Amino acid sequence: MANCIYQYSVVGALMSGICQDGTTAQNILKHGDHGIGTVRGLNGELVIIDGAAYHFPANGPLHVVHATDIIPFAMVTKFQPTLNSHVPQTSMAYLFHSLSPLLPDEQNVFLSLRLRATFSRVVFRVIPAQSKPRETLLDLAKRQEIRECNHIQGTMFGFWSPRYTSGFSVPGFHLHLLSADRTVGGHVIDFEAEDGELGAAVVRNYQVEFPASDEFREVPLDCVTEKDLHTAEGASVTE
């Protein structure tokens, strides 16, 4: 079904360092053609665009994900935008307004969004792989690298999640970008774009599959504060 979210695991598990087991990339792609996620050990992150999954590791070149690669967390959807608009200019700070009339009217449901544009500036968060078992996302964020690219064409995809979903997802915008030449990608923490084509859809059907692994069962997950999530993810909640 179009414009439904299938999610494997929860962000709260990553916050607790639970990311060694998971499902396969092949299974994730059965549920959607656009999405975001991460890989085993939190070694970088992934983006799914037009049915293909790409991994941007902390070290090494961006590459296509293999069908058997283990994915500990992903959010995917069969993307069919119901809002399409040309945006001469937008940015992370202005994206909330660019999605009018969906925001703020629909901020208690999920939104999926895709922006194809020329990015005059885009800032990525690059997170390293775990160096020990159960190293948390907050701990890894202390060792993250910030990279900036200028004047690239690409596609940014991600989700707006409601504030009450903290711990399941990341409240606000959670966005990943893939360059048009498939050489640059990452978790977006800031951007400025021009001559963009913005598509978005309201998502009212949200399905979560919880892992059946020993790793997921061993330790009870705590509530995750929005502050800790945004420290770890560098995402934007509101306008």
Question: Which tens digits make up the pLDDT trace of 54-106?
Answer: 999 988 899 999 999 999 999 999 999 999 999 999 999 999 999 999 999 99
Q: Which domains does the chain possess? A: 5-233 (3.30.1330.80)
Residue 101: cis peptide before it, omega within 30 degrees of 0 = yes
Angle at the Cα of 2 (from 86 to 30), degrees rounded to 5? 115
**What is the tens place of the pLDDT at every residue in 139-170?**
888 888 899 999 999 999 999 999 999 999 99
Does residue 128 have a cis peptide bond before it, meaning omega lies within 30 degrees of 0? no
Which pLDDT score, from 0 to 100, does residue 234 have? Answer: 64
Which tokens is 176 given? Answer: 């990943």
- Token pair 């660019």: residue: 98
Candidates 164, 179, 166; CA nearest to 226 is 166
Give the rounded distance of the alpha carbon of 201 from its chain centre. Answer: 16
Cβ proximity of 28 and 76 under 8 Å:
yes
